[in-house]
Amino acid sequence: MKKLWIVLLAPPAIVLFVWLCGEVVMHLWNWLLPPLFGWHMVTFWQALGLLLLTRILFGGHGMGGKNGGGRGRWKQRKWDKMTPEEQEKFRGRYQGWCGPGAGEPVKE
């Protein structure tokens, strides 16, 4: 029964959230950028496109958080499970590709 209300409530909540984000981006853009820089005003759909583009370029693809939502911690755990010989082999393999410090464990 608990899952039923989530299934019924989630789609309208997602639509409302996307609509609200698009409206916020559109109004902020149209309020700030045309007067400051002389750029054109945007429509709602252009604002959603901008929001999606910035999410793709800068957003981390839904992983969130520091180091992409745990990817750094996953690498750290993987590094910790390696033997010293495996760590040295890994460092040697990637040293030339990434420069000094390549293959070092992730520091948090």
26-72 tens-digit pLDDT: 999 999 999 999 999 999 999 999 999 998 888 765 555 554 555 56
d(CA 104, CA 90): 9
Whole-prediction pTM:
0.53
Q: pLDDT digit string (tens) for 51-63? A: 999 988 887 655 5
Q: Grade residue 100 by pLDDT with cuts at 50, 70 and 90.
A: low
Position 11 pLDDT exceeds 70: yes
Position 7 pLDDT exceeds 90: no
The structure tokens listed for 49 are 């496109």
Asked if residues 55 and 42 have their Cβ atoms less than 8 Å apart, the reply is no
